[in-house]
Amino acid sequence: MKRRTNNIISILVVGSLLVFLFAGTVKADVYYSNYSATIDLSSLADSDFELEIALYDYSGFIGDSYVLIDNVVFGTVVEDFESGIGGFDGDPSSSVKVVDGKLRMDEFDPIWPTLAWRDYTGSSTVSTLSFDFEMYASSAEGFFGWYDEFVVSILDADLYAHPLLPYSLPFPYQEGEVMAVSSAGISHTDFVTVVPVPGAVLLSCIGMGMSAMRLRRKRG
């Protein structure tokens, strides 16, 4: 009976923790920390292209969401923002600027969305573009029930808005938009890979779970 009681207590403790964390993720703002995205560009061959990064303010509150970009790599072309904005361009410096070695994008009134971009020369040997990102995403809903959103596009470097990749995110996204991040989650096309680095909360859950198991073994 004692062993069974300990098992039940352990389950209740871990279960309550997971419910609390899940509820917090759903209802509260979300911080996506230490994510890496890789875009498969093998279908572009030698075509020049533009990487465009946009931050949309759908909540109606300026300053409740922001994005950090780092380590943008296309072959030997590397932007680590340690010496400034590099080959990137963007909206006024008050909304797109380098902070602590990362490109930071903030919401800016009256400009919508906030944009940062960089043109690349096509390559027959380089097939991927990768970058690290973080986003503090507000959970406040806008007029249409949409959340502030970070959107990545691959566009024609000469024709600006003309998409180059054959597939994009479904409606209501525009052609060429291949990844979107908001407090509702991360969406991306099949040729985009997003890899999260386990955060402190997950490691804490694992540690508490292991502690509960050790306690059960000791008392059992």
Q: Please tell me the total count of domains within the chain.
A: 1
Flag whether the pTM goes above 0.85.
no
User: What is the model's pLDDT at position 30?
Assistant: 96
Considering only residues 183 and 143, tell me which one the structure prediction assigns the higher pLDDT: 183
Per the domain annotation, does 144 fall within a domain? yes
Domain membership of residue 208 (yes or no) is: no
* Per-position DSSP letters for 132-188, written without gaps between them: EEEEEE-----TTS---EEEEEEEETTTSS-B-SS--PPTTSPTTEEEEEETTEEEE
Q: Which domain range does residue 158 map to?
A: 29-198
Instruction: Band the pLDDT of 217: cuts 50, 70, 90.
Output: very low
**What is the pLDDT, as a whole number, of residue 80?**
97
Residue 209 domain-assigned? Answer: no
Q: What CATH number does the domain containing 176 carry?
A: 2.60.120
Using the predicted structure, report yes or no on whether residue 126 has a pLDDT greater than 90: yes
What per-residue confidence (pLDDT) applies to 160? 64
Least confident of 42-51, 131-140, 209-218: 209-218
Tell whether 15 is covered by a domain. no
**Is residue 55 in a domain?**
yes
Buried/exposed 115-141: b ≥16 CB within 10 Å, e otherwise: bbbbbbeebeebeebebbbbbbbbbee
Instruction: Let me know if residue 204 belongs to a domain.
Output: no
Question: From edge to edge, which strands make up the β-sheet containing 49-56?
Answer: 89-90, 114-120, 49-56, 149-156, 177-182, 185-188
Is 18 within a domain?
Answer: no
Residue 135 located in a structural domain: yes
Q: What is the pLDDT of residues 35-80, one digit of tens each?
A: 999 999 998 888 999 999 999 999 999 999 999 999 999 999 999 9
pLDDT of the residue at 130: 97
Does residue 10 have a pLDDT over 70? no
- Percentage of the chain beyond pLDDT 70 is 75
